[in-house]
Structure 1
């Protein structure tokens, strides 16, 4: 795939009128593939794949040959397409986005995840009612955990485990079903022709391991699994709902998005079904930029494979030159030394010029976090050295906090929750701050309002003065979606006609207006007594009901209530302008897998793997290779400080990182810089 060395040209030589926020920006590989030619960008951690993609896109735009509405930008995660758009907007190449992402008037309509782009191109969601099924029927629309729970409840299938690390019948079934569909195995029904299918369960070693987990829970194997698949798919058809893999399937068969300029970022994350959709885009694109790094493939559990990136030109039978980016603009010398050592246990590390000195630390906390079935997490004191909250205070909010497993992330999140620290996290891992903030915004909006002449049932001396009349609050608006989240957690005693009637009233209002005023909320949804219970600001938080796992919370009511109360104290009353991203201010709590493509000045990396992961590493070569790539990703996210925390949770089965990783990496990086100063070599082996 690799031929001549890529040249690096100053951007000012190509587009002198463009000013960027980058010091002396350079474009790589125009000698291999010009900006109007297709290219495969092979970029190491911090190699600037998104920036190089932006440069190539702006060159076409500056030549008068490209508008954002003529582009399709598809990625594994929404944040990556947003990153490219923000760069091009900040450089003055393209305009700001002023419409909703899915709006037909939005020139960036086809900039998003593979699922979103496929949906918009094919009109996939139009098969459901105008509200996505959320309001007018019980389950119609896209499948989520609430839909899965309903099916399991109807069929008497255990859904939630007693302990977070345990399997259930539901988890083993859906894990195998999802994997089978993502890998195009002959399971259930497809709209695709049979030529797209890749084999059976028996042909796929990872599927076979998932089938073994299914067998342990269900007491039978492959025949029973196919029977359960048939029941699930019949139920979906009856309830008019769809799995997310079906969006990609529709993309393979339906209309295409704009094909003039196609960008596919992080191709190495794609599993076979997604890769097949990407291949279709590549085959039809006028010009395509594909970016990725096979050394960062750590989604093998979903079917991702290095070959999906490396063999793209052969699969699509198209000449796509490869440009290998030689420099990391993010990764300090010490971090790359540590990462390369870990990767070298299974792969040949890349040659790379890194970004100079950084810092790498380690610590073992005095206290460990431990989970108890009845009480949840037992946590160290807030200000204990190397506790999650203490590290957050020490290094500031702009940090990535990473761990190998979602269960570990939940423990770290519990520690931050106790102090009311808002963070960004994946769905189903740690606290759901989006749901929490929606409730806090609603409570803040309601605070102080009362119906005319109502007196507080909680204060015998209250005389009705100094309050806001809710009947007069005709300009204080709240969206129907946010009201519905709020209504789900209001005691039914304070809802006119109960929760079902409130839902129906909101559905009708949503179709007509989309938002309602507090006066309308009072008139149509809640009783007069509501305001004296839920109009007291922070004091109303403990009155919220159904703060449970089924409603998207942690399953520990005390933890969620305390988190919301402390957040109210920490950030002040939460308004509609306070998003999770703004309040988190850079604090992201993620599994290592979810951190691909992310970076921060500081990364807090928790060492350790679960018993199951340790077993897989010992018994399966593909798992061992995937694990090395996973930690390679984790060790290369920081641009300044990497802080490795060891033995922080009692449920860690085994350490993964070498015990001397930090001092050896520090010494090797210093020695390498010394040799370079003396006329030796840099990290790529180039002589100075």
Structure 2
């Protein structure tokens, strides 16, 4: 699940996650010789090469999804070192996650420049704060709160405010937004109103201001600081102590910042103080992937870079190496409907991979039917040999996960829910690591796999997964990932339990979690920066995408960007689905998301919410209102699609369905794709029921569409015609 490594020809072997994982890089491994300047450039495409060779001033790299941005900036650093334009000990590369920082360090090590510092904003600031605190403040630096929840809960308790866990979570998020926006309790209310921040957990802005004041008092009374304080203290020290600022700027003179569209006001202030009067700064980002403004991210720092840094150069990376042309086209189409700055400064991805199956857009009657339908598709892929770890199901809200979990469990398919605690921060993982360390002192066995199973078995692991979902299954998945890692370590010659523990410690430091052998279930926010061969995006309906709370144009546009991020996680196969109702039997009032305008055809005379009516001049799919068998009204999308009640007998024969299924199976096999990417079962059934006599009639069948009409019309119409001829011959 490497984020953006291009799959392009190169004379230099590309860096991959497999080559750089901790299990293959031990502390005893000899450092690799530095790559030559020619080797470094040979691994890049023309635009990436321009990034790598541009020095001497501010540089803004606008890099679309899957365009190889990490490759470009790591090779830029390596090329600068190889040509003497950069001193590796004066370079600071800043990322937003510990895992991204670890990957960047690994790639730089493979390029022969291990001395470069690659850290998150917090890690870099914390290192500096620990160094300067005794000199500037005196005494040891306060401890950092592992979590704000306890401190905020105490703050509310001091104010006699009763809050539950959900409300506490919302308050913590609001406090974090206020801190990264560099607000004080006094300035928060006005800023929150100006930013149209909604009321939090039933509290107005004045009440949140009181909680902020109380929270600061809690920290002082306990002699603690939080993660935002780390950045705030460094901003204060660098502002007030010129001697410290000179020392920091003497150490770091060349800066690279990844994911610049996610920079907050606080992070930007710290970066400017690191730079001082310097201008050796390279930033990389994509405004179309700005999805964290609710948490304080400001894409304006990326979009206005050339105004802030005079003489800055800008380079665009638009060659997409991740996804098939069909997926890239759909993602571009979604951004075609954007408004505001996202549209004015958008990147248009250009696919570099061969053709693949077109994305599938599917409708279900209700949420449980959608979950079952997606799980059935996944079961088919797994049965065809596709590893479950290659597949992800993405959704807008975490509450959508439960139905999919149940559907997968019912089919015996493992899964991993992302978006909660980081793997090595989970309680069961921490306890397991403590137990494994203890076992190394009493067990000298050279079979780490056996010992790990014995130890983890005492902590809740079993050879077979639990049949339940939720927390019980999550804990088992975590422990089972450790068992699988133990098997991997045990396969190495001479491996011991100590080797397994060392592997876990290295991975924990790099936040490089072991891969769980299961389908990934994740919110779209949690999926940012990841990719999978197969992606299902569920709940693509108005009210979920965009979420019902998105009222302003800016909020709706952020939801559009979120949908775009979801689509661009897919490499080979993409399915987008939505359901007409939440529960079985409920009125199907939902509509597909407006972000699919231009991707799907809507019925004649309809328009998406928030969009003007479009007339394409092209005949759209039609839905039946009355049952062709009994004449009664149709209520569900499936009934409207096939033109009869599901309880009424079909008007087609099994022979025509068998013929259509056989054709679909052969066509899919010839294309090397799953059968449903040709036509879904529901579409085949609708074709058989309606028995269209020409191309326009076939186009009116929901699920066909212009692209599939062009590709499959002749074959389908020939099958239907042959079936009619057989029936006529049989009647004579």
For the superposition of Structure 1 and Structure 2, which TM-score range results when normalised by the shorter chain?
0.5 to 0.7
Where do residues 47-446 of structure 1 align in structure 2 (5 Å cutoff)?
Answer: 47-90=67-110, 92-95=111-114, 107-108=115-116, 110-123=117-130, 133=143, 141-149=145-153, 151-152=155-156, 157-161=161-165, 167-168=166-167, 170-187=168-185, 201-205=189-193, 207-210=195-198, 212-214=199-201, 217-218=202-203, 221-253=204-236, 254=238, 255=245, 256=248, 258-285=251-278, 287-315=280-308, 317-347=309-339, 348=343, 349-356=346-353, 357-359=355-357, 360-363=359-362, 368=367, 384-386=376-378, 394-409=386-401, 412=404, 421=414, 423=416, 425-428=418-421, 434-441=426-433
Which of residues 458, 480, 492 in structure 2 aligns to 1:540?
Answer: 458
C-alpha distance in 2 between matches for 1:80 and 1:126: 28
- Local SS of the residue matching 1:47: coil
The structure 2 residue matched to 1:631, chosen from 551, 563, 571, is 563
Q: What SS does structure 2 have at the residue aligned with 1:263?
A: strand
Instruction: Give the Cα separation in 2 of the matches to 1:363 and 1:16.
Output: 50
Q: Assess if the C-alpha contact under 8 Å between 2:152 and 2:215 holds in 1.
A: no
Q: Is the 8 A contact 1:400 1:590 kept in 2?
A: yes
Higher normalized contact order (CA 8 Å, seq sep 6+, divided by chain length): 1
Q: CA deviation at 1:295?
A: 1.9
Q: Which structure shows the bigger proportion of residues in helix conformation?
A: 2
* Residue ranges of structure 1 left out of the alignment (5+ in a row): 1-9, 96-106, 134-139, 162-166, 189-198, 371-377, 448-469, 478-517, 519-533, 545-553, 674-688
Deviation digits for residues 76-96 of structure 1, max 9, x if unmatched?
223333333222222x3313x
1:417-566 alignment to 2 at 5 Å? Answer: 421=414, 423=416, 425-428=418-421, 434-441=426-433, 473=442, 537=455, 540-541=458-459, 558-560=472-474, 563=477
Q: Against the structure 1 CA distance between its residues 649 and 56, is the aligned structure 2 distance closer, same or farther, given a 3 Å change threshold? A: farther
Shift of 1:46: 1.8
1:166-214 Cα deviation digits (max 9, x unpaired): x52x2443333222222233425xxxxxxxxxx653345574433x235
Q: Matches of 1:176 and 1:185 in 2, distance apart?
A: 11
Measured in 1, the distance between the counterparts of 2:217 and 2:93 equals 35
Q: Which residue of 1 aligns with 2:529?
A: 597
Q: Name the count of aligned residue pairs.
A: 528
Closer, same or farther: CA 204–330 of 1 in aligned 2, 3 Å? same
Is the Cα contact below 8 Å between 1:262 and 1:285 reproduced in 2?
Answer: no
Question: Does the CA contact (< 8 Å) of 1:11 and 1:26 recur in 2?
Answer: no
**In 2, distance between residues paired with 1:644 and 1:343?**
16
Please state how far the C-alpha of 1:72 moved relative to its aligned partner: 0.5
Closer/same/farther in 2, CA of residues 238 and 672 from structure 1, 3 Å limit: farther
Match of 1:484 in 2: none
Displacement, 1:267?
A: 0.7
Cα drift, residue 156 of structure 1: 5.6
Q: 1:56 aligns to what SS in structure 2? A: helix
SS at structure 2 position matched to 1:289: strand
Q: Which is greater in Rg?
A: 2
Matched with 2:655 is none
Conserved 8 A contact 1:364-1:386: no
Instruction: Tell me the distance in 2 between the aligned counterparts of 1:279 and 1:118.
Output: 13
Q: Structure 2: how far apart are the matches of 1:386 and 1:422?
A: 11
Which among 32, 35, 53 is matched to residue 55 of structure 2?
A: 35
* 1:224 alignment partner, SS class: helix
CA distance in 1: counterparts of 2:170 and 2:83, whole angstroms: 53
- Any idea what the Cα deviations from partners look like across 1:513-534, whole Å, max 9, x if unmatched? xxxxx9xxxxxxxxxxxxxxx9
Report deviation, 1:117.
Answer: 1.1
Residue aligned with 2:268, SS: helix
Q: Distance in 2 between the 1:296 and 1:327 partners?
A: 16
Query: Conserved in 2, the CA contact under 8 Å of 1:259 and 1:285?
Result: no
Per the TM alignment, residue 343 of structure 1 is displaced from its structure 2 partner at its CA by: 2.0
Between 623-632 and 37-46, report the one with greater CA deviation: 37-46
Secondary structure at the counterpart of residue 60 of structure 2 = strand
Compute the displacement of 1:298 (Å): 1.6
> In 1, Cα distance between the equivalents of 2:461 and 2:708?
58
Q: CA deviation at 1:572?
A: 7.4
Aligned pairs (5 A) from 1:645-660: 645-647=577-579, 650=582, 655-656=592-593
Deviations 1:396-431 (A, max 9, x none): 4144543222333566567778969474733349x8
Contact 1:39/1:288, CA 8 A, preserved across alignment: yes
2-side partners of 1:585 and 1:171: how far apart?
30
Judge conservation of contact 1:382–1:389 (CA < 8 Å) in 2: no
SS at match of 2:200: helix
SS in 2 for 1:209: coil
Contact 2:60 2:315 in 1 (8 A): yes
**Residues 612 and 200 of structure 1: CA distance in aligned 2, closer, same or farther (over 3 Å):** farther
Which residue of structure 2 lines up, in the alignment, with residue 678 of structure 1? none
Tell me how far 1:433 sits from its aligned partner. 8.0
Q: TM-score, normalised to structure 2's length?
A: 0.59
Residues 333 and 60 of structure 1: CA distance in aligned 2, closer, same or farther (over 3 Å):
same
> Which digits, 9 at most, give the CA deviation of each residue in 1:29-57, with x for residues without a partner?
74997334431111111222222212221
8 Å contact 1:143–1:244 — kept in the other structure? no
1:58 and 1:88 in contact (8 A); partners too: yes
Instruction: Between 246-255 and 646-655, report the one with greater CA deviation.
Output: 646-655
Give the direction of change, closer, same or farther, for the CA distance of 1:234–1:640 in structure 2 (3 Å limit): same
Deviation at 1:635, TM superposition (A): 1.1
DSSP-derived class of the 1:583 partner: coil
Matches of 1:410 and 1:284, distance apart in 2: 52
Which runs of 5 or more residues in structure 2 are unaligned? 1-9, 13-34, 239-244, 463-467, 489-499, 584-588, 602-676, 679-704, 712-732
**Structure 2 CA distance for partners of 1:17 and 1:569, relative to 1, 3 Å:** closer
CA contact under 8 A between 2:328 and 2:568: conserved in structure 1? yes
1:644 deviates by: 2.6
Residues 360 and 574, structure 2, Cα contact 8 Å, conserved in 1: yes
TM-superposed CA distance for 1:612, in Å, is: 8.0
